[in-house]
Amino acid sequence: MQTIISPLLVSHRLSLAPPVPRLLNNYHHRAPTSIRLSSHRSTNSLRLFSSTVVAAAAAAAAASRDSEMATEDVQDPRIAKIASSIRVIPDFPKPGIMFQDITTLLLDTEAFKDTIALFVERYKDKDISVVAGVEARGFIFGPPIALAIGAKFVPMRKPKKLPGKVISEEYSLEYGTDKIEMHVGAVEPGERAIIIDDLIATGGTLAAAIRLLERVGVKIVECACVIELPELKGKDKLGETPLFVLVSSA
């Protein structure tokens, strides 16, 4: 049997419900860490930018840490298209939450291709041998990146989904706790990894993923997400691990 919840609207592209994620049209300078990625900029180059960029960069330089945005001298032209392809659904899964829906990004072949390309460009020459993706939306972005950079893909899953022997890490929810699991033997000590998810909110899941991988001796080079919700300060939960996002949604 079939349930049709709403009348069919035939349209080539989905219309977006307001508000659209706001793009941060600037670049946050990050305090130097032990990991130097090729797109990391020195403070000097930021002075060449427009006034809004410099103002933001100066403020950001005063902060101890900031997520690195996928921007270059001016915003990468691919970012605007990616951001506008993300649909916001109000009050899902409960009232008050503005849900960032990436399924519309997946319908836009150029935007999806660009999303993967941006991550691949960033990580391809970094000796990354592991792309870990958090269930379930991390499974959509992680494998294409892994394939393109020659890495293995490691799924990190909710309890009881993985069939073999697992290690697990608990993390806090608003009410109660949850667990994230990984197969024993999937990774080896000394491997360099990135962790992928579609979105970082409170950072609880990503922090647990970091702990899980670090417990088995893996070095997490960076966490990478399509979207960040900066007000929830998820990056603060990531410890020393840098965060890279394409779109920041205030």
Residue ranges in contact with another protein by CB under 8 A: 1-6, 8-12, 14, 87, 89, 92-93, 99, 101, 103, 106-109, 112-113, 116, 135-137, 139-141, 143-144, 146-147, 150-155, 157, 160-164, 183, 186
Nearer to another protein (CB atom), residue 10 or residue 62? 10
Tokens representing 95? 């009232």
Cβ 77 to another protein, closest distance in Å? Answer: 19
| Region for residue 169 given its phi and psi (left: phi exceeds 0; alpha: psi -120 to 50; beta: otherwise) | beta
For this structure, is 174 an active site residue? yes
C-alpha 64/C-alpha 191 separation (Å) is 28
Nearer to another protein (CB atom), residue 53 or residue 83? 83
Q: 192: part of which helix (H) or strand (E)?
A: strand 192-200
Nearer to another protein (CB atom), residue 106 or residue 232? 106
Nearer to another protein (CB atom), residue 60 or residue 154? 154
Cβ 204 to another protein, closest distance in Å? Answer: 19
For this structure, is 137 an active site residue? yes
Q: 120: part of which helix (H) or strand (E)?
A: helix 109-123
Residue whose tokens read 């608003």: 174
CB atoms closer than 10 angstroms to residue 112: 18
Considering only CA atoms, which of 180, 154, 151 is closest in space to residue 167? 180
Residues in the chain: 250
Cβ 38 to another protein, closest distance in Å? Answer: 23
Nearer to another protein (CB atom), residue 3 or residue 64? 3
- AA identity, residue 176: G
C-alpha 2/C-alpha 107 separation (Å) is 23
Cβ 159 to another protein, closest distance in Å? Answer: 12
Considering only CA atoms, which of 102, 90, 80, 64 is closest in space to residue 227? 102
Please tell me which residue in 30, 122, 137, 157 is annotated as part of the active site.
137
Cβ 106 to another protein, closest distance in Å? Answer: 4
Residues assigned a catalytic role = 137, 174
